[in-house]
Amino acid sequence: MSENLLEVKDLHVQYNTDDAVVYALNGVSLNLKEGEKLGLVGETGAGKTTLALSVLRLLPKVGQIASGSISYKGEELLDKPESYMLGLRGRRVSMIFQDPMTSLNPVKSVGDQIREVLDLHFPQLTKEAKNEKVDQMLQLVGIPASRKNEFPHQFSGGMKQRVVIAMALISQPELLLADEPTTALDVTIQAQIMALMGQLKDRFNTAVLLITHDLGLVAEFCDTVAVIYSGCIVESGTVEDIFSGKNNHPYTKGLIGCIPDLSKDEDRLHPIPGHMADARTLPSGCPFADRCANAMDKCRKERPEAFSEGTHTVFCHLFDNMRGGV
């Protein structure tokens, strides 16, 4: 196995709003190897986007990284000056945002917006070389190069997301943070976009952190999975570990239960009861305890320790007695 490209350790992030402090991430740890495709799965508000923005240090003003470490290729990003981050963003780590409708500047042509990455990170290239690269990249994502002088409003949602992907990958980054890249798109377009991302990722050997709430997408696209709930990673492992159905975290079980299984004759889906806990108060025990059918007294009091089996790690008290010798 190759070296870890991205290592997030015990990351705590909070938003200090006027009314209250919102605890978005409560001790998240995550490893991503070079060329690996990691799916980060969780509900809306679980802290997925916060994690991605923290890596780029692009949290909004009210956001604050309280503690923890983010190291990229062994370098601690949280200690680096802003100038270092400027060279990293868009060059070595790119990000694709959720809503292609709003993530492109409406007054600049798409060609200009893609070329801007080259202007920023490859100033040594000639104008012709840059333009040629932009043309190539557009064709690669399936947009005729002749459309590069058009503006975002002249493109459909799927086409815009292709432009965003072109923008993210033109610098051949080592890591791509894809924040729900297909959520805002039609199902048919979703498949196209994911296929495109997979194909380009292989071509450039880019590691991907795919943020999504769609387990199906993860099963199809990713090598490894981390499930995040209320700012905590509750389970991680390879796709096989998670989907084998063995020793799953109750939350993951619930998520998998939400996917309708057409092979079985079932009338109902199985939603997880309740809502995610209010992030304005820090949970003392397991964050999922209130919604968990198997919750014990211990769950509400103590944070569960990691239970690991090979590549598979679960944070749940249910596995306490299986943890040999402790």
Partner 1 sequence: MDWLKYALKRLLMLIPVIICVTFILFVILSLAPGDVARMVLGADATAEQIAALNHEMGLDKPLLIRYVSYMLDAVRLDFGTSWTGNFDVLEEFSFRLPYTLLVSTLAICFAIAVGVPLGIASAIKQYSLLDYGCTFVVMLLFSMPAFWLGTMCQIFFCLMLRWLPVSGVGSWTCYILPTIILGANTLASMIRMSRTSMLDVIKMDYIRTARAKGNSQKDVILHHAIRNSLIPVVTQIGINFAGTIGGAVVTENIFAIPGIGSMLINAVKGRDVPVVMGTVIFITVIVGVINLIVDLVCALIDPRIDLAS
> Per CB under 8 A, does 190 bind partner 1?
no
- What is the C-alpha to C-alpha distance for residues 326 and 155, in angstroms, rounded to an integer? 59
How many of the chain's residues bind partner 1 (CB under 8 A)?
A: 29
> Per CB under 8 A, does 104 bind partner 1?
yes
DSSP state letters, 118-148: HHHH-TTS-HHHHHHHHHHHHHHTT--GGGG
DSSP state letters, 213-267: S-HHHHHHH-SEEEEEETTEEEEEEEHHHHHT-SS--HHHHHHHHTS--TTS--S
* 176 residue type, one letter: L
Half-sphere exposure of 206 (CA within 13 A, CB side): 28
Q: Residue 104 Cβ, how far from partner 1 at the closest point, in Å?
A: 6
> Per CB under 8 A, does 56 bind partner 1?
yes
> Per CB under 8 A, does 62 bind partner 1?
no
Among 167, 176, 207, 255, which residue interacts with partner 1 (rule: CB under 8 A)? 167
Q: Residue 82 Cβ, how far from partner 1 at the closest point, in Å?
A: 8
- What is the C-alpha to C-alpha distance for residues 311 and 252, in angstroms, rounded to an integer? 16
* DSSP category for residue 277: P
- What is the C-alpha to C-alpha distance for residues 38 and 41, in angstroms, rounded to an integer? 10
**Site residues for partner 1, window 219-278 (CB under 8 A)?**
none
- Residue with Cβ nearer partner 1 (81 or 325): 81
Q: Residue 151 Cβ, how far from partner 1 at the closest point, in Å?
A: 4
- Residue with Cβ nearer partner 1 (122 or 319): 122
> Per CB under 8 A, does 50 bind partner 1?
no
Among 46, 70, 117, 316, which residue interacts with partner 1 (rule: CB under 8 A)? 117
- Residue with Cβ nearer partner 1 (65 or 242): 65
> Per CB under 8 A, does 147 bind partner 1?
no
* DSSP category for residue 303: P
Half-sphere exposure of 99 (CA within 13 A, CB side): 3
Among 14, 26, 103, 182, which residue interacts with partner 1 (rule: CB under 8 A)? 103
- Where along the sequence are the contacts to partner 1 (CB under 8 A)? 56, 58, 82, 86-91, 94-95, 97, 99, 102-109, 116-117, 120-121, 151, 153, 164, 167
